[in-house]
Structure 1
């Protein structure tokens, strides 16, 4: 009886742990569009505007996609490709 109880608790904890790990994985970036940098904008502010829930991953994706070496050198009028959608893995787990 006691073994079954501990096994059940172990399965529940393993499931919770798995969901927490999945939540930490980066989002699925799908679709890209061009954005013209406006005065005062940063890579972070552009990423936050596009995908407010996963900003840090989107910033990294923008930097990689546009081959940005120094984000401080961004100038008004620069054209960047930014993701149009960042879908967290959590949302992708829903059975469709």
Structure 2
């Protein structure tokens, strides 16, 4: 597992196909390109995935009334439909969070977005529920 090209650690896949690793103090708060390589017993890399990852210091996490935490299965369209009543309003969330969304089709669990109130006064309760 690499963060911005620097080795963070290694782990083994369990019999159930799952793995975990805790980076602990190795990753200071910031934005990283997280790269995970699947390495076969012979040492050859058989799969690679690279994802944007942001580690936030707990005291810096601002979950105000207009914040939403991305949950597994969320998309900007689904968030907008729930928050504003129309999926097409996803652009409101996208524009407010452009600095952390590389591709509006790819958002990730744990990301915290601002969900501005729309012209009708719709908003969020901080948990993604409008």
TM-score by length of 1: 0.49
Structure showing the higher helix proportion among its residues: 1
Higher RCO (CA 8 Å, separation ≥ 6 residues) = 1
TM-score normalised by L of structure 2: 0.37
Q: Which has the higher strand share?
A: 2
